[in-house]
Structure formats: structure tokens, C-alpha cells
Structure 1
Amino acid sequence: MLRRCFAVVVMVMISLSATSAWAHPGGVDDRGGHTNRKTGEYHCHREGCDARAQVERATREAEREGRAFVERYDRKLYKHWSDVDGDCMNTRHEMLQSASRIPVKLSPNGCYVSKGEWFDPFSGQTFTRASDLDVDHIIPLAWAHAHGAFAWTAAQREQFANDPENLLVVDDGLNQAKGKKGPSEWLPPRQAYRCEYLGLWQKMLNKYSLTMAPKEKRVFTMQLAACQ
């Protein structure tokens, strides 16, 4: 009997401890969290709460930038690199082959480019190893997603991700530095190429009907005007 009573007491104590770990004065809101009155920080205490909070933050950010809120970007939504013509060479290696100044060296099966000679318009440098290069999306996939591509079909996204007109062979470090930035946040360090780069952005914006936020548009318009 004593052992049974002791077990019941222990179970009650564990239950109360778990409850106290989640309970807070004033309870939680309909999202499953609450704001700390002293620090102003928001804390989540129910499953799914953080996701809802992120959606609200993203919505407020979109409103400040004058654009519609879009679903979270996932690179997997944009299928690349595709073998469009079925010759075993995907879009990345097709670009490496076509952009090389000399005949490229291929893998034994002819599917991959390993060496060639490439001029990087971002830096003005010349490269001979394919491993030192990235194939850059002029309009980054994540940027496009936030400016209209979120509403596209899977086929439209794949077309955009593999469109040679939206691709450049560039230094991998500079491509990583660019990331998902638009021209208001990043331009090639080689100034002689900047106006051509802006022109490519304009061409792709028009081709895919992508819309800049008002602040981005103002900066972009001034950038283009400076190139006239």
C-alpha cells in the first residue's frame, strides 16, 4: 500500500513539474505563445507556434516592402540542373561548354566538363578549371520566388532555372557573395560590367514578368539612368 501511494505521489509531482514548465502567468495567445513583458521577446509553447509567428513576421516585412507575402522559398521547387536535350550533359555543363574560349576537356562519358578557358565578367579574371566556377542565375531563384515566381507551375520554374539567357559562368566565390541579392543590394565588383549586368536584369524581368518592390524599383531605375 505504501509503495502504491508513493508511486502515485511521484506521478503527480512529475505531472505538476511538466505543467509548470509550460505554464506562464496570463496563459498563451491563440498562436500558442506569449510576449515577455520585461524583454518584449515572443516565446512559443505549442507545436506549430513558431511557424505561425514566422508567417506573421514575413507578412509584415512584405507590407513594408510594398509586395505580397509569398510562401517560404525552397530551392527544390526549381528543378536544376536539367538535361533538357537528353544528351547526358545537364544545363550547368552545357553552359560551361558553350562559354569556354577553347575546346573543353570532358569526362570519359562525355557528360561533364572539367577544363576549358572561361572569362568571368564579374571579376575580369580567367579560369581554366570548371570546379572554380559557378553557373550563376542572373536573377536568383530565391529573388524570383519572392517577386512573382511563387505562383508559377513546376514547368515554368524549371524553365526559368535552366534558361541560358538567365545564366552566367562566373567565379564561385563571387556567386556565393551575391547569393539571393538583387541589384539594389549587389553589383559585380568589376565596374565595367555593371551596366551590362543591369541590362540583363531588365531583360529577364520583362521576359518573366517579375515585379520589383517600389524601393527596389526606384534604386534600379536610378542605376539604369546612370548607364545612359
Structure 2
Amino acid sequence: MSARGVGAALLGALVLFSLVTRESTGAAVRGETGRTSARAAPLDNPSGVRPGLAPVTSAGDRAEAVRLIRRLRVAAMGPKSGYSRARFGRNWADTAGGVPYARNGCRTRDDLLARDGERVRYRKGSDCVVVAMELRDPYTGKTIRWSKKRADEVQVDHVIPLSYEWRMGARHWTAAKRARIANDPLNLMPVEGDVNEAKGGLGPARWLPPRRKIRCAYAVRFAQVALKYNLPVTRADKAVMTAQCR
């Protein structure tokens, strides 16, 4: 091949590489000893299989985030009567269909710890049960050195809380759809346990992550889940979410 041909081939490869800016397809990310993961911004991670939650920083991405949030339907919040965690299936069941990681033999919680953790260690003889890891908590910015002996130090947050979903219409869904949203990695984020407990069942108008630079990303993820499941949000929540990305 001539020098000109080699140059053209290299240029073509560079152009192709530059086009791969959104989520790559393929196997789900799993933790390995010594692995350091790049955090994924939510607009680049529409299925939720890439690790963490990176800030939305550029003007173009923030404008795209606002457009996404504006697509949300609004509705009044209904009562909590009849809600229980059991309405969304067994905790961290591997049986929910139609979402990433489903039926892979591992509990959903372990899948999420493996997705977001660094220097992940598994129980001897298991490639599922995570017993230790480091977590860069997106909500606080802290690095947590976690082990299963202190299980509650890291909790897996439902970005849209299950009780919020129930009050916004999930009471009318099938049990299978409720199990999907409860185990969908798009709706799940390992975070510091105390922060997760402080959030409870609150929407964005009443609770946002303490780390301000992540709030637009959090609003985008909340919107992505709501749009995927055709779930409305309250008018106040939509206004607060929009404001985080302007």
C-alpha cells in the first residue's frame, strides 16, 4: 500500500473512532480486581449498564438534558395506601424479564455492586457474590471502602423510589412491570447508605444529591427511567429537574 493509502486508512479509522461517542453495545460491565472504571454520563448510558453517574457539564449536553426532561408527563401524586416493597417482587430477584442482567444467575444487588465497584472481590467459589470493593459514591463524592461485614454502608438506591412509582401510577401496572422497574439497572445506583435512607421516597422537588455538580445527571437519570416506563412526575418535580440542567 502506498504512503497515501496508509494515510487514508488511518484517517478513516480515526473518523470512525470519533463517531463512537455514545454507549457501546456488548456484555455488561463486571468488576475485576484492580479495575478502575470511567464513570458514564447518563446521556451516554441509556440502558444503565455502564458504571456510575458522571456530571453533565457541556452546554450542548445540558441543553439536551433539558429537552429530555421537558418530555415528561405531569400528574398529581396519588395516595400511598396499598404500597409495600413486596408489590415490586422479591428483593433483588434475578427473575425479572426484559432488563439487563436478568436471569444471569446473580442477584440484582450484586450485579450493581460489580458494575460500579472498583477492586471488586467475590466470595470464594462464586463469580456473583460481591464481598468487598471500593465505591466512588456519585451522590456525595466520597470513596467508600466497603465489605459485606458492613453491608448497609452501601445501599442500592432506586433513582425513582418504589413508593413514588406506586403513587404516580405503578399501582395499576402488572406485577411483571413493577418487577422490571425494581430491577432495571437504569433505575439503580449504589450509594452511601445514610444518603439513601435520607432520600427515602422523595422526588427531586424535596430531595437532590448533596453533591451539587451531579444534580443535573441525577435529574436526567430520573427522567430516563420515567420516560422508559411512561411514568409521570409531579409538576414541582419536573420544574426542579429542569432547573438543575439550565
| TM-score bucket (shorter structure) | 0.5 to 0.7
The CA deviation string for residues 169-209 of structure 1, in whole angstroms up to 9 with x for no partner, is 10011000001000011001111111110111111111111
| 1:62-97 deviation per Cα after TM superposition (whole angstroms, max 9, x unaligned) | xxx944556421111112301244444200000001
Please identify which structure carries the higher helix content. 1
Partner Cα separation in structure 1 for residue 189 and residue 137 of structure 2: 8
Structure 2 residue 243 is matched with structure 1 residue 225: yes
CA distance in 2, matches of 1:142, 1:151: 13
- The 1-side partners of 2:240 and 2:196 are apart by 24
- SS in structure 1 of the partner of residue 118 of structure 2: coil
CA contact (8 A) 1:138 1:166 kept: yes
Identity %: 34
What is the match of residue 199 of structure 1? 220
* Letter of the 2:156 counterpart: V
Q: Match for 1:170: what amino acid? A: V
Report the counterpart of residue 143 of structure 2 in structure 1.
Answer: 126
1 or 2 for the larger relative contact order (CA 8 Å, sep ≥6)? 2
CA distance 1:222–1:116, shift in 2 (3 Å): closer
**Is the aligned partner of 1:108 residue 2:129?**
no
Normalized against structure 2, the TM-score is what? 0.60
Unmatched tracts of structure 1, length 5 or more: 1-64
Please identify the structure whose Cα radius of gyration is greater.
Answer: 1
- Aligned partner of 1:157 in structure 2 is 178
* Matches for 1:1-228 after TM superposition, within 5 Å: 66-69=76-79, 71-79=81-89, 80-84=91-95, 85-102=102-119, 104-110=120-126, 111-130=128-147, 131=151, 132-213=153-234, 217-228=235-246
Asked whether the 8 Å contact 2:83–2:166 carries over to 1, the reply is yes
Counterparts of 2:222 and 2:104, CA distance in 1: 30
Residues 119 and 125, structure 1, Cα contact 8 Å, conserved in 2: yes
Deviation at 1:168, TM superposition (A): 0.4
8 Å contact 1:71–1:150 — kept in the other structure?
Answer: no
SS at match of 1:145: helix
Contact between 1:78 and 1:157, CA under 8 Å: does it hold in 2?
Answer: yes
Compared CA separation, residues 222 and 107, structure 1 to 2 (3 A): closer
Structure 1 length-normalised TM? 0.65
CA change 1:127–1:220 in 2 (3 A) is same
Aligned partner of residue 139 in structure 2, secondary structure: coil
Gaps of 5+ in 2: 1-74, 96-101
Aligned alpha-carbon RMSD (Å): 1.9
Q: Match for 2:132: what amino acid?
A: K
Q: Is the 8 A contact 2:215 2:244 kept in 1?
A: no
Q: Distance in 2 between matches of 1:137 and 1:196?
A: 15
TM-superposed deviation, 1:109? 3.9
